[in-house]
Structures are given as structure tokens and as C-alpha cells.
Amino acid sequence: MTSSTTNTDLARLLQAFFCQRLMQQRQASSRTVSSYRDAFRLLLRFAEAHAGKPVSRLSLSDLKASLILAFLDNLETQRHNTVRSRNARLAAIRAFLHYAAAEEPTALPVIQQVLAIPMKRFDRPLVGFLSRVEMEAILQAPDSHTWSGQRDRILLTTLYNTGARVSEIITVRRMDLEREHGRALHLHGKGRKERVVPLWKRTSRLLRDWLPRIGPEPQQPLFPNRYNQPMTRSGVASRLREAAHAAAVSCHSLNDKCVSPHTVRHTTAMHLLQAGVDITVIALWLGHESVVTTHQYLEADLKMKEHALAALQPPTVATVRFKPSTGLLAFLDSL
């Protein structure tokens, strides 16, 4: 097989993988397609330098396990990606090679070596969340006398109420708010999953008062920026940081905390858990695919552990002073 043919095969397989497998057959979300696209942009540019030939001449056989391992190492050491990001890039490569294996069986030896590369394990940090006092201070921080301040207060209240991901909150439209009483919000979640989250009376009232301040069209962003376009992820994060900084003047414990939209999501989950809401309901509330993901909040709640410890009566076991045996082997035999 000539180099031009193998190059055509690689280009054809990549295009078919994105257009047919991801978009048509799997109907992957735009975020998934973008994530996979970015992974292959990085991989092909790395392979170009590593293999010593332009992308136009790269073949499927160039994607050897040694190259993929070097690429993954480069992501962590040179680009300073986290292990999660490294594993996400590897997942995209694996998905493509599973597809390529069915289309090009002759490339199986190379493909199988790459598929044998394991995901890297990593320590999962404890969930960071805010206290009720800290969260309330942040919600009260935006200046309600300005248009942007009103938007920020309602945005952060809705974010806290729903536990929405930042990607979900920036895509909310006017039509996603329940029309009659505004007591629920329709969220378009991760992986094309949709859910309806109930709203507190406070949130519902704020949103009803906010609607006259934005456009009447059903597709109108519920939380627009100054140009009447949906806010960006960085825009929401920036406004939240500004509110947290202002709230830290009166709530000093916020000075030592890094507050992000995902921190607010964790806070919602923890406060629901502390209020006695069943973990399966919290999983539905947050849009978790598996309750295993939600279980991390049980692990993080020290107060609940302390209550459980206080309710548990310690066993009455007599303390026996240790007396070493006369011989090391006798001691080992007694174990």
C-alpha cells in the first residue's frame, strides 16, 4: 500500500468517524464532537513533529502505541493537562480506533496495541463546597440597583437552586421557564439529557420580576450579556468571582476559598443532602447518569459523619496491656 493510499485511508476514516459515527449514528452532542475534534487536532500536530512528516502524509499505521504514549506524556508534562484531561484525550483516540478496526482489519495489530494502553488512575479530591452563610453572602453581593447586578443575583440564585452545570445555565432560554407560575426550569443537560428542576418561591419570584427586563421572544437567553447574547462560561465564572470577592468583606471565611460555578453545584448537592433529601433524588436533581457519582457527597459531609458517630454507642471492650511473647516465631504464629 502506498503512502498516498494510506494517507487517504486515514483522512477518510477520520472524516467518516466524525460525520457518520459520531454525528449521524450516535447523534453525539456538539460538546462531545468539539472535545474529540480538539483531541485529534493535538494528536495530529504532535504526530507531525514526532514522525517527521506532514499531516497530509500521516497514515493509520503511524498511530502506534509508542507515539500515543509519547503524546499522552506530552499532554501532562508539556501542556500541563490534568490526568482527567489526559484520559479524555485517550478516550477519543480509543473511540476512533474501535471504529477504524472494523473498517480496516489489516491495521488490527497496531490498533490493538493502542487499545491496550490503560486509563491512568488518579486521586479524587474531596468535594469543596460552601456553607449556607457563605452562599447567602454571595447571593446578596451583586448590586441590585444596576441591570447587570440584578442579572447576576438572579443568575447565581438560579445556579444555586438548580445545581446546574455552567454549560446548562448559559443555554437556558426564556421558553425553558415554566410559563404559568414559573415554578420549574427546563435544563438541557450533558449528553443530550434533559431534566426539569423545581424552583424555590424565592427563585421563582426573582425570575418573574426579571422577565420584563429581557426580550419577549421564546428563544431569548434568560441570562444575556450586555450584547443580548448568551453569557459565556468565563463570563459566569468572572461574575461569580466578583460576587465572592465582594461577599468576603463581610464573610471573611470566603477569603480562603476559590469559588467557581462547579463549587456552587457541589454546594447545592451538599445542602440537599444535609436537609435529608434522598441521594437518588439528588442524582436526578443534578442530572447524574449514575448514583455512584452522587455518592461522593456522602463521603465529603463531615457533619453527617459526626452525627452518625455521636449516635453510635462505643463498644464496651476491656483494654488489655500488650505483653510481647518470648519468641518472634511464637508471636507470628499467634497472629
Known catalytic residues are 165, 190, 262, 265, 288, 297
Are the CB atoms for 262 and 241 separated by under 8 Å? Answer: no
Among candidates 83, 39, 47, 79, which has minimal Cα distance to 64? 47
β-strand pairing of 194-198 with 184-188? antiparallel
Return the amino acid letter for 229.
Answer: Q
Are the CB atoms for 253 and 132 separated by under 8 Å? Answer: no
By three-state DSSP, how is residue 178 classified?
Answer: coil
* DSSP element (H, E) containing 188: strand 184-188
Are the CB atoms for 63 and 46 separated by under 8 Å? Answer: no
Among candidates 252, 249, 228, 224, which has minimal Cα distance to 239? 224
By three-state DSSP, how is residue 324 classified?
Answer: coil
| C-alpha to C-alpha distance for 42 and 216, rounded to whole angstroms | 42
| C-alpha to C-alpha distance for 53 and 60, rounded to whole angstroms | 13
**What is the sign of the dihedral through the CA atoms of 134, 137, 141 and 145?**
positive
Kindly tell me the burial class for residue 157, based on how many C-beta atoms sit within 10 Å of its own C-beta (0-12, 13-18, 19 or more).
buried
Are the CB atoms for 51 and 3 separated by under 8 Å? Answer: no
3-state secondary structure 33-86: HHHHHHHHHHHHHHHHHHHCCCHHHCCHHHCCHHHHHHHHHHHHHCCCCCHHHH
